A and B are shown apart, each in its own frame.
Chain A
C-alpha cells in the first residue's frame, strides 16, 4: 500500500516537474519549417528533365531556434530530402545550418558554426520552397553547376565565423554580413570534410551589403573569394591552387501591383591552367492578384565560359503561384530550356518540362 502511494506521489511529482521543464523550454524554443512535394514531366523526347512524370517527396525541413539568453540564439536547420532511407542509400539528410549567434548590438552580431553562404538572394533560401514563387531556385545564378558550369559561383555552405548587422547608411536602412570559412574543397573529394577540416591554409571570404531605398525595394552586392586545391583531368590533386572569385548584384522590388527580381553574377577562376570568366543572369517579373494569385515570368541565362562560343544555356519560366491557405502554396509552371551546342550539360538540346509543387511553410 505504502509502495503504491509512493509510486503515485512520485509519478505526480514527475509530471509536475516535466510540465515545468517543458514550459521553460517552450518559452525558449521556436520550431518552424517547411515541406515540399513536386511533380515534373518532360514533354520532349530528348532532354535532361524527367520523362516519366514523377512525384517527388522533395523535402521536409525543420528550423529550430533556441534562445539560450537574451543575446544568445542557437539556430539549426535539418533537412530530409527525397524521402531518405539510409538502409537503401536513398535520399539525403543534411544539416543546412547550425550556429550560435551572439548579439553585441543590432549593428554587430557574431555567428560561429555551419552557415549558408550569404550570397545574393537565393542561396540562403535555396531549399525553402514556400519562400519563393517558382518551383526551383534559379539555375543560372544559384545552381550553375547544373546549367553548364564546371564549378558553382560559391558553395552552398561554409563552416567558420561571421559578423553581421543592420543600421542606417545615410537615411537608408541597410545590412551587411561578412563570413570567413574553410570554403569549398576540390569537388573530386580527396577525403576531407570542409565542415570539419580545411585542406589548405587559405580561408574563403564572403561579403554582402544591402540597402533598402524604400520599404519595398532592396539593392545588394555580394562578393566571394576562395582558393582551393586544383585537380587534373583524372581528379587527382595536381599540387597547384585555383583562385575563385564571384561578384554579384541584385535588385528586388516587392510592389503591391508588380514585383521584380534581378540577379547578376560574374565569376572567374584562375590558376596554372589559365583564367575562366563566366556570368549568370536571372530576371523575374510578377504581379500579385488579390494576395492569392501570383503569375510570374522568369528568364535565366548563363555563359559558363567567355572563351567558348555557343556554350550558353537559357531558361524561360512562365508560372502561377497560388496561396491556398496561410503558408500553403501551389505552384504550376512550364520550363522552356534552350542551350548552345557547346554547353557541357545540355549539348545544344532544348526541351520543355512541366513542373508543379505544393509547398507548405510553418
Chain B
C-alpha cells in the first residue's frame, strides 16, 4: 500500500517536471526599431538592458520606447526566452516591482502585429519585434530591422 503511494507521488512529480518543459515557438523573430534609431545591430545584452529598464535613452538623447506583443502571441514567448532568458510570469513580476517602487514603468503591451508595426513606425526611439512570417516590407518601410548578435533573426 505504501509502495503504491510512493509510486503515485513519484509519477505526479515527474508529470509536474515534464509539464514545466513547455516548448517555445519555432518560428523566428526579428527586432525592429524606428528608422531614426542610430544603430543597425545590437547584442542580446543591449536588448536586455532596454527591456529590463537599465537603458533609457538612445545615445543619451532620444527616449527609448520598448514595446511588447501580448502574451497570447507565440513570438513573445520566443523573444522572452531567446533574448531575455526568462518566462512571461517572471518578466511581469519583475516589472510590477519596478513600476510600483517608483521606477519608470516597463514596456507597453500591444495586442496585434499591426499595432506593433504602427507604433514602431510612428514613434521615435521605439523598439519591438515581430515574427519572420509577419514581415511586410510595405508596412515596415518606416522601421529598421536590427541584427542581434550579428544574426538577422532570433
Interface residues of A (CB under 8 A from B): 30, 32, 34, 61, 63, 65, 67, 70, 73, 75, 77, 97, 99, 103, 105-106, 115-116, 118, 124-125, 128, 130-132, 166, 173, 175, 215-216, 254, 256-257, 288-292, 323, 326-327, 361
Report yes or no: A75 in contact with B102, Cβ–Cβ below 8 A: yes
A-B contact count (CB 8 A): 92
Query: Least Cβ distance of B19 to chain A in Å?
Result: 5
Report yes or no: B54 in contact with A291, Cβ–Cβ below 8 A: no
B27 at the interface (CB under 8 A from A): no
Residue in contact with A291 in the complex, picked from B63, B89, B100, CB distance below 8 Å: B89
Report yes or no: A326 in contact with B71, Cβ–Cβ below 8 A: yes
Question: Knowing A103-B57, A106-B54, A131-B97 touch, does A290 contact B88 (C-beta < 8 A)?
Answer: no
Report yes or no: A173 in contact with B100, Cβ–Cβ below 8 A: no
Known: A75-B102, A77-B102, A288-B89; 18 extra A-B contacts, CB below 8 A, are A32-B99, A61-B100, A63-B100, A70-B57, A103-B57, A106-B56, A106-B60, A116-B101, A124-B97, A128-B96, A131-B93, A173-B49, A173-B54, A289-B16, A289-B20, A290-B19, A290-B22, A327-B92
List residues of chain A with CB within 8 A of the CB of B94: 254
List residues of chain B with CB within 8 A of the CB of A105: 57, 60
30 A-B pairs within 8 Å (CB atoms) are namely A30-B105, A32-B100, A34-B96, A63-B99, A63-B105, A65-B105, A70-B57, A70-B63, A103-B56, A103-B57, A106-B54, A116-B102, A128-B96, A131-B97, A166-B54, A173-B49, A215-B48, A215-B52, A215-B85, A215-B86, A256-B90, A288-B90, A289-B20, A290-B16, A290-B20, A290-B22, A323-B89, A326-B71, A326-B92, A327-B92
Report yes or no: B102 in contact with A115, Cβ–Cβ below 8 A: yes
Query: Least Cβ distance of B34 to chain A in Å?
Result: 14
List residues of chain B with CB within 8 A of the CB of A290: 16, 19-20, 22
Q: Provide the bound-state CA to CA distance between A73 and B89, in Å.
A: 27
Question: Knowing A116-B101, A290-B22 touch, does A106 contact B93 (C-beta < 8 A)?
Answer: no
List residues of chain A with CB within 8 A of the CB of B61: 70
Query: Least Cβ distance of B62 to chain A in Å?
Result: 7
Report yes or no: A128 in contact with B97, Cβ–Cβ below 8 A: yes
Report yes or no: B89 in contact with A106, Cβ–Cβ below 8 A: no
Q: Provide the bound-state CA to CA distance between A291 and B89, in Å.
A: 6
Query: Least Cβ distance of A330 to chain B in Å?
Result: 14
List residues of chain A with CB within 8 A of the CB of B20: 256-257, 289-290
List residues of chain B with CB within 8 A of the CB of A292: 89
Q: Provide the bound-state CA to CA distance between A166 and B98, in Å.
A: 14
Q: Provide the bound-state CA to CA distance between A118 and B102, in Å.
A: 10
Query: Least Cβ distance of A28 to chain B in Å?
Result: 11
The list of the 8 closest CB pairs from A to B, nearest first, reads A124-B101, A128-B100, A291-B89, A131-B96, A131-B97, A70-B63, A361-B96, A166-B54
Query: Least Cβ distance of A223 to chain B in Å?
Result: 18
B36 at the interface (CB under 8 A from A): no
Q: Provide the bound-state CA to CA distance between A104 and B20, in Å.
A: 43
Query: Least Cβ distance of B67 to chain A in Å?
Result: 13
Q: Provide the bound-state CA to CA distance between A290 and B16, in Å.
A: 8
List residues of chain A with CB within 8 A of the CB of B87: 256, 291
Q: Provide the bound-state CA to CA distance between A132 and B98, in Å.
A: 12
Query: Least Cβ distance of B9 to chain A in Å?
Result: 15
Q: Provide the bound-state CA to CA distance between A131 and B96, in Å.
A: 5
B104 at the interface (CB under 8 A from A): yes
Q: Tell me the residues in window 7-47 of chain B with beta carbons closer than 8 Å to chain A beta carbons.
A: 16, 19-20, 22
Task: Considering the complex, give the chain A residue whose CB is closest to the CB of B53.
Answer: A166
Q: Provide the bound-state CA to CA distance between A300 and B61, in Å.
A: 46
Report yes or no: B55 in contact with A125, Cβ–Cβ below 8 A: no
Report yes or no: A125 in contact with B100, Cβ–Cβ below 8 A: yes
Task: Considering the complex, give the chain B residue whose CB is closest to the CB of A167.
Answer: B54
Q: Tell me the residues in window 71-87 of chain B with beta carbons closer than 8 Å to chain A beta carbons.
A: 71, 84-87
Query: Least Cβ distance of A38 to chain B in Å?
Result: 17
Q: Provide the bound-state CA to CA distance between A125 and B98, in Å.
A: 9
List residues of chain B with CB within 8 A of the CB of A70: 57, 61-63
Report yes or no: A77 in contact with B100, Cβ–Cβ below 8 A: yes
Q: Provide the bound-state CA to CA distance between A215 and B94, in Å.
A: 11
